[in-house]
């Protein structure tokens, strides 16, 4: 990856095939029926028939207040950006990894993340222990001692974290969008990846919101935390995009650890309220889960998403944000790579871009070869 204009132009060319964004890796499978014109027309027509003010507006699902009823049944999946759909093998391939701090900015970013985590654990009175402090303690005793989180505490923790985690991607996308407009040049593929991350984190929040409606006090805490964090990250990204991506990557390391512990607690029977709890409908739509999926399957999918953000942000932090092409603009490695490797070094990102170009050129040649030939002259 050299950041040359030709490389960026190739990645962002509008002449690329529609399927370029999700080449044939198992982490990028999509439901092709969702892109058909017939489905889109039916969805559009159905939406128009249920618009407020029509004769059927009182019974319209658009008037219901729940998190998932605002999406008409006939357009499931069309209302989100690109996101991976994982195979069962990929879901189990995730490892808890940590990147060593190599620079002063790395140490500062990691220190801020660890400080935030320590304070959050202190406020929530959570103490993670590998083994109970005393043998034979019941789940209630462990919860009272702060060694296990209850179902309510897990949801509070997840809702708070996801409401904050959706901020960095949107801030980065906004600033890069404005830079592209101001300098009147292409962005080399960074904006869409940042937007996809923000949307993905927001969908995590929407999923868990179906399990618990936060109190007014909790919402006020979110309001204050979001206001502080948005402005903090906005200024940070203006000063150093690379350090900001590193900060997000370390934050995602903690998210992977959190969901790994949550999964372990659930599988060990320490969250009995969630045992065999069906997956929310919105999560089945979003991750293309089996209709009989459980909440445990949702947690595995969310953890894989956080692993993707960990890998992508560490890799982006190794690039020059002003000149380098985003190596994930066209495709991403599957979870067997992202789940076991903490990042791409800059040279690896450059090689990955070259491979993407070769795949695109090969697909273009195959499409040209399969194109029916016209009658001879």
Helix (H, G, I), strand (E, B) or coil at 294: strand
143 vs 168: CA distance, rounded Å:
33
User: Which residues carry a binding-site annotation?
Assistant: 162, 201, 204, 252, 306, 309
8 vs 12: CA distance, rounded Å:
6
Tokens 């001879």 correspond to: 376
Residue 69 in contact with residue 61, Cβ under 8 Å?
A: yes
DSSP tally for the chain: helices H, then strands E: 14, 0
Judged on CB neighbours under 10 Å (0-12, 13-18, 19+), 342 is middle
- What would the two tokens of residue 303 be? 């953890």
Distances (CA, A) of 58 to 55, 134, 160, 214, 288: 8, 58, 34, 27, 31
Q: What are phi and psi of 242, to 5 degrees?
A: -65, -45
Cβ-based neighbours of 86, under 8 Å, separated by 6 or more: 26, 27, 287, 300, 301, 304, 335
**Cβ neighbours, 10 Å, residue 292:** 9
193 vs 312: CA distance, rounded Å:
9
Closest Cα partner for 250 from 112, 120, 127?
A: 112
322 vs 170: CA distance, rounded Å:
18
User: Which residues carry a binding-site annotation for Fe cation?
Assistant: 162, 201, 204, 252, 306, 309
DSSP secondary structure code for residue 57 in this structure: G
**Cβ neighbours, 10 Å, residue 293:** 18
Residue 254 in contact with residue 113, Cβ under 8 Å?
A: yes
Closest Cα partner for 271 from 151, 156, 131, 158?
A: 151
Is the dihedral angle over the CA atoms 208, 213, 215, 220 positive or is it negative? Answer: positive
- What would the two tokens of residue 13 be? 């060319």
């Amino acid at each position: 990856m050299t950041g040359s204009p030709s490389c960026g132009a190739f990645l962002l060319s509008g002449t690329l095939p529609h399927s370029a964004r999700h080449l044939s890796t198992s982490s990028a499978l999509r439901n092709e029926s969702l892109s058909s014109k017939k489905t889109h027309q039916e969805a559009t027509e159905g939406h128009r028939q249920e618009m407020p003010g029509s004769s059927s507006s009182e019974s319209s699902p658009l008037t219901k207040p729940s998190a998932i009823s605002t999406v008409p049944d006939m357009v499931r999946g069309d209302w989100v950006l690109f996101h991976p759909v994982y195979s069962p093998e990929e879901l189990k391939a995730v490892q808890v990894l940590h990147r060593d701090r190599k620079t002063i900015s790395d140490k500062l970013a990691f220190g801020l993340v660890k400080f935030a985590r320590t304070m959050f654990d202190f406020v929530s009175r959570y103490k993670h222990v590998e083994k109970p402090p005393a043998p034979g303690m019941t789940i209630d005793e462990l919860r009272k001692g702060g060694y296990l989180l209850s179902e309510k505490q897990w949801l509070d923790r997840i809702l708070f974290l996801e409401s904050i985690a959706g901020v960095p991607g949107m801030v980065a996308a906004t600033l890069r969008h404005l830079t592209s407009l101001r300098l009147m040049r292409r962005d080399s593929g960074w904006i869409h990846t940042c937007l996809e991350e923000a949307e993905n984190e927001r969908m995590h929040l929407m999923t868990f919101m179906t399990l618990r409606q936060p109190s007014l006090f909790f919402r006020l805490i979110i309001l204050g935390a979001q206001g502080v964090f948005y402005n903090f990250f906005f200024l940070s990204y203006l000063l150093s995009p690379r350090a900001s991506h590193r900060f997000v990557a370390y934050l995602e390391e903690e998210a992977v650890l959190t969901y790994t512990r949550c999964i372990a607690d659930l599988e060990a029977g320490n969250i009995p309220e969630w045992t065999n709890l069906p997956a929310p409908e919105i999560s089945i739509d979003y991750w293309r889960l089996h209709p009989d999926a459980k909440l445990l399957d949702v947690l595995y999918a969310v953890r894989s998403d956080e692993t993707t953000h960990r890998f992508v942000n560490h890799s982006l932090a190794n690039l020059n944000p002003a000149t380098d092409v985003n190596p994930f603009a066209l495709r991403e490695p599957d979870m067997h790579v992202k789940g076991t490797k903490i990042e791409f070094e800059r040279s690896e990102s450059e090689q990955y871009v070259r491979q993407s170009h070769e795949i695109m050129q090969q697909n273009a040649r195959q499409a040209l070869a399969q194109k029916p030939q016209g009658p001879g002259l």
